Amino acid sequence: MFDGVYCLNLSSRPERYATMEKRFAYFDLKVERANALPGLTIQGLWSHIQNAKSPGHEHFANPNYLACAIGHLNIYATALARGQKKILVIEDDVRIGRNSEEMTKTFMSQVPSDWDMLYFAYIPLSDDQSMWTYCYLDEQRLSQNVIKARNLWSMMGLVLNERIMRHMLDVYAKSFPMEIDRYLVEVIQKSPEWQSYAMNPQVIVGEDIYSDNMGTFCDTFALKSMDPRFAVYSDYI
């Protein structure tokens, strides 16, 4: 269904990619590892952005978030250079639904053909980002398995087409306005120019694991990244 599938992984986390390789093998999924940048390698760039008071600089709480953005942008640039028009990007701390192939085919048959971006994984937040809830998703429901993306956060499993990959590279070539996930929520999801949709229930969910970006153990990703009305965590490998 996609021209390329990439998994973003830090070289300092080989155990995570080894785990993901087993999951990919289970589904006979061909995935290319994409090297993620450690935040320490761009400490100077991050400091420069902070000192320059660049728009959105307050969102880059530490250099890890900036490195994450660069990692995703590098994947887009690589994909476009290869002539790939639609790709799936997966992070290295996720689980995949046992019936992922069937779920994905069903979703793709229902999603509008004008899509620019598809969320295979997400955490739905309220407008003020103070709480997470799945209750309001039904207000955005277009079909049994398709949700119009609104206030959906996460880069755990994201599909992008050629147009939006080029847009992201153009925007971030000029400046780093904010973290990529925030840009996708606050700009792309809210703009009538871009069509973004989400799979419900998610085909990819997060794990409770140490976050290199935040520098702390996150014990709520598993709960927050799965719609409990339609799935249970044991559905994911």
Cα–Cα distances in Å, from 120 out to 55, 159, 176, 178, 232? 29, 7, 25, 22, 16
Contacts of 108 (CB under 8 A, 6+ apart): 1
Q: How far apart are CA 200 and CA 220, in angstroms?
A: 19
Taking the chain (237 residues) in runs of 10, the rounded mean pLDDT of each run is 96 95 96 86 71 61 81 97 98 96 97 98 91 90 97 96 98 87 95 97 88 66 91 95
Closest CA to 77 of 182, 136, 4: 4
Predicted confidence at residue 213, as pLDDT, reads 61
Looking at residue 132, what DSSP letter applies? B
- DSSP for residue 141: B
Give me the residue label for tokens 């429901």.
141
Work out the burial of residue 128: count CB atoms within 10 Å of its CB; fewer than 13 is exposed, 13-18 middle, 19 or more buried.
exposed
- In this structure, the number of other CB atoms found within 10 A of the CB of residue 171 comes to 15
pLDDT of residue 215: 58
pTM for this entry: 0.92
DSSP conformational letter for 38 = P
The kind and range of the H/E element at 119 are strand 117-119
In sign, the C-alpha dihedral spanning 225, 229, 233, 237 is negative
Render the burial of 42-67: b for 16+ CB within 10 Å, e for the rest: beeebeebeeeeeeebebbeebbbbb
Cis peptide before 55 (omega within 30 of 0): no
Q: Are 184 and 95 in contact (CB under 8 A)?
A: no
Domains of the chain with bracketed CATH: 4-235 (3.90.550)
Give, rounded to a whole angstrom, the gap between the first and last alpha carbons of the chain: 21
Measured N-to-C along each axis, helices 162-174 and 63-81 cross at an angle, to the nearest 10 degrees, of: 130
